[in-house]
Amino acid sequence: MKTEGGKGNETKTAEGTRKAAARRTREVAIKGIAISPGVAIGEVFDTSEVPAEAPRRAIEAGKAEAERQRLAAAVTASRKQVSKLKARLGVLPEEAQEELEPLLDAYAMMLGDSRLIRGARRRIADELLSAETAVQDEAEAIAAAILAAKDDDKAGLKRRAGEVREIARRLTRNLTATPFRSLKGVPAGAILLAEELTPADAALLDPTRIAGVATEEGGADGHTAIMLRALGIPSVLACPGLTEAARRGDQAVLDGGAGTIVIRPGEAALQAGRESLATYAKEKARLAKLRRLPAVTLDGEEVELQANLEIPAELPLIAQAGAQGIGLLRTEFLFMNREDLPDEDAQVDAYTQVVEAMAGDCVTIRVLDWGGEKDMEALAEGIGPFHAGPNPALGLRGIRMLLKRPELLEAQFAAILRVAGAEPGTQIRILLPMVTIPAEVSQAREIYERVQRRLRRKGIPLPEKEPLLGAMIETPGAALAADAIALEADFFAIGTNDLAMYTLAVDRAEAEVSHLYDPLHPAVLRLVQFATEAALRLRMPVSVCGEMAGNPRLVPLLLGLGIRALSMNASAIPRVKQMVRSLKIDDCARFARRVMEQGDPKRIQELVMGFGEAGSDRS
Q: Which of 223, 239, 362, 588 is catalytic?
A: 223
The answer to whether the CB of 510 falls within 8 A of the CB of 462 is no
The answer to whether the CB of 253 falls within 8 A of the CB of 265 is yes
Catalytic, 545? Answer yes
Distances (CA, A) of 164 to 106, 111, 138, 226: 10, 10, 9, 17
What DSSP string runs through 147-192?
Answer: HHS--S-HHHHHHHHHHHHHHHHHHHHHHTTPPPP--TTPPTTEEE
Q: Residue 362: exposed, middle, or buried by beta-carbon count in 10 A (0-12, 13-18, 19+)?
A: buried
The answer to whether the CB of 287 falls within 8 A of the CB of 572 is no
Which residue stretches of 332-468 are H helix?
A: 344-358, 377-382, 398-404, 406-422, 438-457
Query: Cβ contacts of residue 105 below 8 Å, gap of 6+?
Result: none
For residues 226 and 213, give the distance between their C-alpha atoms in angstroms, rounded to a whole number: 13
Q: Which of 239, 362, 545, 588 is catalytic?
A: 545
CA angle 339, 344, 346 (to 5 degrees): 60
Strand spans (E) along 238-296: 251-255, 260-263
* HSE-up (13 A, CA, CB side) for residue 79: 13
Task: Kindly state the helix (H) or strand (E) to which residue 214 belongs, with its residue range.
Answer: strand 210-215
Cβ neighbours, 10 Å, residue 588? 25
Task: List 304's β-bridge partners, or say none.
Answer: 565
Catalytic, 223? Answer yes
Q: For CA atoms 445, 450, 453, 459, give the dihedral sign.
A: negative
Task: List 40's β-bridge partners, or say none.
Answer: 254
Query: Cβ contacts of residue 104 below 8 Å, gap of 6+?
Result: 82, 85, 86
For residues 296 and 304, give the distance between their C-alpha atoms in angstroms, rounded to a whole number: 9
The answer to whether the CB of 207 falls within 8 A of the CB of 181 is no
Query: Active-site positions?
Result: 223, 545
